[in-house]
Every structure is written in structure tokens, then in C-alpha cells.
Structure 1
Amino acid sequence: MNERQVTQIRRSRLNIFLFDFMQASEFSDYILNRNLHEVRGPHTKAKLVHLALNTSLIISYSRPFHKSNEGAGLPRASLRQHVCRVLSVDERALHEKAIDKRDQALAHSDAAAHEFEGLNYNGRGMLFYKSAFDPLTKDETQMLRRMSRKWIKYLGELKAGSKHAHQ
């Protein structure tokens, strides 16, 4: 990626992406600092809080990788082309999992997120479904927090480079 492609993302959009990752980092901090992964009992208030914050974590982390509307006459912006530059192979696997979870279960209700492959869901028999809303594991939440912080650092560097390019 050359310098011209990097600077195509407006400075304001870089700030908006920063806000998304800062929010994701805050959600993961809350989940981890309150040990919400350790809460037992599916009907406790803390489980509901964990589920809500996990959903918010994934959505806020995923926003910068979906083309965002910029306004009249401006191209849509995304960080997708930067993923290989910022994330390790292991991090990219979790990145894809988070994006897929957002796309298939949290922002939409895709059948693939809920139905088991190979079962007939057209009949009248008993139907079994996956739990599409299970929160990330503690390790995944920790990794997603680290990834959010890597993105925050990277965007800061892009902004600094953008500032120098326009001086």
C-alpha cells in the first residue's frame, strides 16, 4: 500500500475509527475487570450484562471494517485493506470470527449462524439450533482488547503521518 492510498482515509474518519476501537477497548476492560466470564447461572443479571457488552464489543470493533458512509461525493471508508499490516495470523483468525459473528448473528439473523449444517429445517420434526449469541471466551476477549489497542496505536501513527503529509 503506498502513501497515497493510506492518506485517502480522511483525518476525521480516522478519528471516528479511533472512537470505535476505544469503545471496544472499554467494553473488553469492563468484561475482564469484572470477571464476567466467571459468572455462573444463565439467568443472572451479570450474564445479561456480559452478553450485552460482548455484543457491543464485537459491533464496535467491527465497524471500521465495513464500508462507512462519508457524505456526499466522498468515497466510503474501511480499514479492511490494513488488516494484514496490523494483525498477526492468530489475531486475523479472531478478527474474522468477530466480523462473521457481527455479520451473521448480531447485526443480522443469518440462518448459518443458527442452524446446523445438514439438518432439514423444512420439516415438522424437532428442530435444533446453535447458540449464536455465546460470548467470546476470556482468552478471545483479552486478545480482542489487545487488537483494539494495536488499532488505536496504528491509527495514531496514520494520523501523525497524515498531519506531516499535509504540512
Structure 2
Amino acid sequence: MPLWTWMSVGDFNVGFNLVLDGLSLTMLSVVTGVGFLIHMFASWYMRGEEGYSRFFAYTNLFIASMVVLVLADNLLLMYLGWEGVGLCSYLLIGFYYTDPKNGAAAMKAFVVTRVGDVFLAFALFILYNELGTLKLPRNGRTGACALRSR
């Protein structure tokens, strides 16, 4: 489902497009189902805690990022969802930031995910250079098959 053109520079066009097929519908059900259960439990468990609203803001942003990740029609939009998940993981791990152990764990998770993000971004550059597109294939031709058909 095309929503709008996200960026367009010369021949490089990336749309903010979402796809709802069998796999993405399954993953969307998992993400929203587990997210619902987390919200139900946390609304009871976090009641009266300092930062109650902040926790739910982080959790909702995490779920929204996961939804973008699983419904993305192109690798750049998927990468945006991936980055959102990484950021929210850092924020949720370090939620009780006054405890030094939580802060250290959050920083460790942040650094590890950023290293992975750099390699993923590098892989996206290589894919775009080789394939000329970041659009995810929907015809079953992926990987080496897509490279050979070029």
C-alpha cells in the first residue's frame, strides 16, 4: 500500500509503502498480540511507579517500530523500523536509570546494536549498488536469483 514518497533524489526513490501479505500478517499478529499482553501486565505491575507514562511511551514506540519493521515494503523503511527497535530497547533496558547496573546494561545494548546497525547500513549500500533498488521482492526471487537476473 503506497502512502507517500519518503525521499527522491535523481533515480533514487524511496516510498513509505507498507505490505500486508501472509508473513507480515502473521508477524503483525505476533507483535500486536504480545504487545497487548505486555500492556495488560504492565498496567497492573507498573501502577504507582514513577515513570509510568514514560514506560508506556517507550513501549508504544517500540511496538510502532516493530510494526514498521514487519510491514515495510523496502529495506530503507525496514532499517528505520530496526533503528527504532534498537533505540527503544536501549530506553527500556535503562528504564530504571538511577541503578548503575541498569545504565551499564542499557549502554552495552546500545553499543552492541549500533555495531550491528553499521554493518546493516553497509549491507544496504552494497545491495543498492548491486541491485539498483532497495525494494523488497514480492515475486519469490530473492538473493542470488535477483543478482543473476540483473
TM-score, normalised to structure 1, is: 0.28
Q: Which has the higher contact order (CA 8 A, sep 6+)?
A: 1
Q: Which has the higher strand share?
A: 2
TM-score, normalised to structure 2, is: 0.30
